[in-house]
Structure formats: structure tokens, C-alpha cells
Chain A
């Protein structure tokens, strides 16, 4: 069964770059039917889609974050990654990686999430 696992620092200083990796296990990130996404959730708040990547490297980003976000994929490691630059306290959130199944247009598998706090 396919699983996703986020990893990365839990604390990032303001103005620095947040970097997270999602490792896909139990299946291939190169499957043509799927996109791989990042979603975040500030404490006690709702869900915000950050962006998406296809195994080929094609990306799409939330326009409100586009200037600060880079999502990349490493098919050899079955991983995809998120970089969010110039972070502020407003970027403090649980960050989830998720599989977006293109056939049904839904996030059908999610990682457990990782809490990232932006603080000096």
C-alpha cells in the first residue's frame, strides 16, 4: 500500500527557507495517473493548497505563494520536495504531502504531516 512520509526541520528562522521532503513508499512516483502535492494547515485553521508536481517535473503553484515556492521531484529516490523561501510566522503550519489522483481529481492519499514552526 502506497504511503507518504514528510521529513525536514521542525523549526525555521524568519526570512530563511523552509525545506521539506516527501518520500513515497509502496509505489512509484513515476506513475502517470498521479500528481504529487503539498498542502498546509496553520494551527487551528483550515487547509491551503501550496502546489503540485508531475513526475516529469511539470509544476503548478498557488498564485499567492508562487513567488516563494519551488517544488521538485527526484524519481530515482521516489521523493518530491518543497522549498518555501523568506518565511514568516504566517508560514507556521502542519505541512502535508498528498497524492492527487488525476483520474478522480481528489487527494486520495496523505502523509501524516509535519509541523513547521517559524521562530527565531
Chain B
């Protein structure tokens, strides 16, 4: 099984400042056949279902603000919020789609306002 880890567990960032969340997989999630990383990022606000932000590690889902960006390849990935807004307070999860039949999520990173 591919194990996903995230760091930090939580972070507090001032409004307008950058927030960076790291995600690491226990093995590569890069498909050599199409050179795509099967890694997605989700945002979950209290009482709501997760919302897809990023797929293929760096492609923003339609309608997602461009302050959200994803980067990385292989086993190490980063979600960056370039200028934190109040509405970005949430828990963020990474998830791998490389290993079937088990699509594992990271444990989540809670983002708050400092």
C-alpha cells in the first residue's frame, strides 16, 4: 500500500501571506507511460464535503482561484496558497490515485488564520 504523509499537521498564517503544505508518498505516483503524477489535493471546510482543488499534482480544477498551486513529482508534493484569504481556512488533504485498488489520502493539514 502507498502511505501518504503530510506536514505540518497544522499551520497558522497571516491574511495575505503564503501557506505551504507538503505531501509525501511512500512510493512514486508518477506514471511513466504518460508522465503524469496521480496526486490530487482537496480542501474541506467544516461541515462540508471535500472539494477538488488540484489534480495531476499541478493542474487546477476549473473555478479554483489561481492563488492555489500544486507542484512536485514522484514522491514529494506541495500545495501552496500564495496569499491566504479568510475563506481558505480549512483542512487540506492530498490523495494518490496511482495504486489500485486502494486510493489513499494523507492525514490532512489544518490551515488557520494567525
Q: Across the interface, do A47 and B59 meet the contact criterion of CB distance under 8 Å? A: no
User: How many A-B contacts at CB < 8 Å in the complex?
Assistant: 58
Chain A contacts for B106, CB-based, 8 A: 46
Chain A contacts for B105, CB-based, 8 A: 46-49
Say which residue of B51, B95, B102 sits within 8 Å of A62 (CB atoms). Answer: B102
Say which residue of B36, B38, B52, B104 sits within 8 Å of A107 (CB atoms). Answer: B52
Q: Across the interface, do B103 and A49 meet the contact criterion of CB distance under 8 Å? A: yes
Q: Across the interface, do B101 and A47 meet the contact criterion of CB distance under 8 Å? A: no
Specify the chain A residue showing the minimal Cβ separation from B98.
Answer: A105
Shortest C-beta distance, B100 to chain A (Å), equals: 6
How big is chain A's contact interface, by range?
20 to 34
Shortest C-beta distance, B12 to chain A (Å), equals: 19
Q: Across the interface, do B102 and A63 meet the contact criterion of CB distance under 8 Å? A: yes
Q: Across the interface, do A106 and B52 meet the contact criterion of CB distance under 8 Å? A: yes
Q: Across the interface, do A106 and B101 meet the contact criterion of CB distance under 8 Å? A: no
- Chain A, range 97-119, C-beta contacts under 8 Å to B: 98, 104-108, 110-113
Q: Across the interface, do B55 and A105 meet the contact criterion of CB distance under 8 Å? A: yes
Chain A contacts for B55, CB-based, 8 A: 104-106, 108
Distance of A49 Cα from B2 Cα, bound (Å): 13
Q: Across the interface, do B97 and A46 meet the contact criterion of CB distance under 8 Å? A: no
Shortest C-beta distance, B93 to chain A (Å), equals: 6
Chain A contacts for B50, CB-based, 8 A: 47, 96, 107, 110
Q: Across the interface, do B49 and A49 meet the contact criterion of CB distance under 8 Å? A: no
Distance of A117 Cα from B100 Cα, bound (Å): 28
Distance of A61 Cα from B103 Cα, bound (Å): 10
Chain A contacts for B103, CB-based, 8 A: 49
Distance of A101 Cα from B21 Cα, bound (Å): 25
- Chain B, range 70-89, C-beta contacts under 8 Å to A: none
Q: Across the interface, do B56 and A112 meet the contact criterion of CB distance under 8 Å? A: no
Q: Across the interface, do B56 and A105 meet the contact criterion of CB distance under 8 Å? A: yes
A60 within 8 A of B: yes
Specify the chain B residue showing the minimal Cβ separation from A101.
Answer: B55
A interface residue numbers (CB < 8 A to B): 46-49, 51-52, 60-63, 96, 98, 104-108, 110-113
3 shortest interchain CB distances as A-B pairs: A60-B101, A110-B49, A105-B97
